[in-house]
């Protein structure tokens, strides 16, 4: 190899003498750093995803929605979708003529609730839960919290839903 081969050998020898680390120890170290990098990346991705979802939920936008003409709800209830097309909701006309709107998803395990006009309640047949249709509060059964209630307004003889009522979240 001549002169250049000798120089290489000498430099490797001197390097190994200064840093006496075996090949396997070197590989273990690189593997450990790589695993630490993977763990840290996973944690960062997890935190970012959690906070993004948390803040998006906090800033949930509720659109103003025209539901139906006032004279079309004579008695009983009307089913619609709110705030998105994937969210079942129910508009009820109470015995005193008052209108209320709620999410139709039971707060226990999300079964749809049904209006019972005889006692102004919203009944969940899945596990016999019941909500007061005047304010969405739980009357009995396993539901852990009230039904989300939406603000209802009458404008130009039409029924509009405006957003979630804060007192009932
Ligand atoms: S899902 Fe409504 S009571 Fe269980």
Whether pLDDT at 60 is above 80: no
| pLDDT for the residue 54 | 59
The per-residue pLDDT for 43 is 80
List all residues 6 or more positions away from 125 whose beta carbon is below 8 Å from its beta carbon.
111, 114
Same domain, yes or no: 69 and 46: no
Residue in 88, 108, 122, 136 to alter for ligand 1 test, most ligand atoms within 8 A of Cβ: 108
Query: Is 126's C-beta closer than 6 angstroms to any atom of ligand 1?
Result: yes
Could you tell me the residue range of the domain that residue 8 belongs to? 2-58
Nearest alpha carbon to residue 168 among 144, 149, 143: 149
> Quick one: tokens of 60?
């949930």
Give the pLDDT band of residue 58 (cuts 50, 70, 90).
Answer: low
DSSP H helices in 82-166: none
Averaged pLDDT, 40-56: 68
Which residue from 113, 126, 146 has its CB within 8 A of the most atoms of ligand 1, so it is best to mutate?
A: 126
Tokens linked to 165: 């009522």
Same domain, 107 and 150: yes
Tokens of 97: 């003529």
CA of 141 to the centre of ligand 1 (A): 8
- 47 and 80 both lie in a single domain: no
Same domain, 76 and 142: yes
Return the closest-CA partner of residue 133 out of 166, 108, 104, 162: 104
CA-CA-CA-CA torsion sign (148, 64, 91, 98): positive
Q: Please give the tally of structural domains in the chain.
A: 2
Q: Which of 58, 78, 98 is the last residue of a domain?
A: 58
pLDDT at 3 over 50: no
pTM of the model: 0.66
Tokens 């079309």 label which residue?
72
Q: Do 52 and 69 have their domain in common?
A: no
**pLDDT of amino acid 2:** 44
Are residues 71 and 157 in contact, defined by beta-carbon separation less than 8 angstroms? yes
Is there an atom of ligand 1 within 6 Å of 106 CB? yes
Q: Evaluate: CB of 111 within 6 angstroms of ligand 1.
A: yes
Predicted confidence (pLDDT) per residue in 119-135, tens digit: 999 999 999 999 999 99
Contact status, residue 164 vs residue 148, Cβ threshold 8 Å? yes
Mean of pLDDT values over 90-101: 96
């Amino acid at each position: 190899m001549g002169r250049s081969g000798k120089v290489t050998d000498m430099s490797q020898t001197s390097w190994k003498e200064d840093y006496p680390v075996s090949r396997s120890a070197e590989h273990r170290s690189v593997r450990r750093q790589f695993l630490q990098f993977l763990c840290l990346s996973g944690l960062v991705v997890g935190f970012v995803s959690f906070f993004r979802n948390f803040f998006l939920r906090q800033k949930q936008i509720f659109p103003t929605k025209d539901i139906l003409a006032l004279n079309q709800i004579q008695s009983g209830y009307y089913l619609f979708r709110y705030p998105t097309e994937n969210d079942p909701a129910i508009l009820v006309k109470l015995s005193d003529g008052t209108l209320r709107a709620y999410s139709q998803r039971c707060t226990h395990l999300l079964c749809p609730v049904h209006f019972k006009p005889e006692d102004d309640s919203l009944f969940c047949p899945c596990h016999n839960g019941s909500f007061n249709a005047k304010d969405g509060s739980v009357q009995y059964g396993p539901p852990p919290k009230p039904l989300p209630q939406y603000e209802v307004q009458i404008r130009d003889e039409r029924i509009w839903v405006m957003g979630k009522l804060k007192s009932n979240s």
